[in-house]
Amino acid sequence: MTTTPITEVPSQEAVLEEISSMLLRVLDQYGLDGFDDTGEIAGKITLDTTFHDELGLESIDLVTVGSMLTDRYGEQVNLAAFLADLDIDDVIGMRVGLLVDFVRTALSRPRLAGS
């Protein structure tokens, strides 16, 4: 599978914006229970927002976000591999900022030929 090589690591703001829109798409499936509209929650997603407690997302939603990240940024951004190295408490307490940092770190890593 070929992906567009990203030569420059996108800014923190740019990645946050992308991830926020992915989270909104996932939340959309649940009918945004508890939120008035997408606009209200869109403005509320920051680097400090917790995936689990504040957004009310479950672990299966992380699987979906992982697929979205790979579709957007390429195979280099492998969320499952990143999470496999964390403890369960870190995954449960995960903040959006950790995802943003993960994406930027993955994109800044030199890509191995054939990987």
Partner 1 sequence: MGMIQANGIRTHYQLMPAKNPATPEPPTVVFIHGLGYDSLASFYLTLAAPVSQAGINVITYDLRAHGRSDRPVSGYRVADFVEDLRALLDETDVEGPVYLVGNSFGGTIAFSFAERYPSRVRSIVAIEAEPATHEWSRKIGGTLTNVVDWMEDPEILAWLEDTYGAHHARLSKVASAVIRATTIVEEVPQGPLLDAEALRGIRCPVLSIVGSEGFQSDNLLAVQSSLPDCRTEVIDGQNHSVLVERHRTVRSLLLDWVDEIEAIPAEVEVGAA
**Side-chain-facing half-sphere of 46: CA atoms under 13 Å:** 2
Q: Which amino acid is at 111?
A: R
End-to-end CA distance of the chain: 11
Q: How far apart are CA 42 and CA 63, in angstroms?
A: 21
CB nearer to partner 1: give 12 or 64: 64
Residues in the interface with partner 1 (CB under 8 A) total: 18
Matching residue, tokens 């699987």: 63
Please report how close the Cβ of residue 94 comes to partner 1 at its closest, in angstroms: 11
CB nearer to partner 1: give 65 or 100: 65
Site for partner 1 in 38-97 (CB under 8 A): 53, 56, 58-60, 62-64, 66-67, 78, 80-81, 83-84, 88, 91
CB nearer to partner 1: give 13 or 53: 53
- CB-based contact 3:74 (threshold 8 Å): yes
Point out which residues bind partner 1 (CB under 8 A).
53, 56, 58-60, 62-64, 66-67, 78, 80-81, 83-84, 88, 91, 115
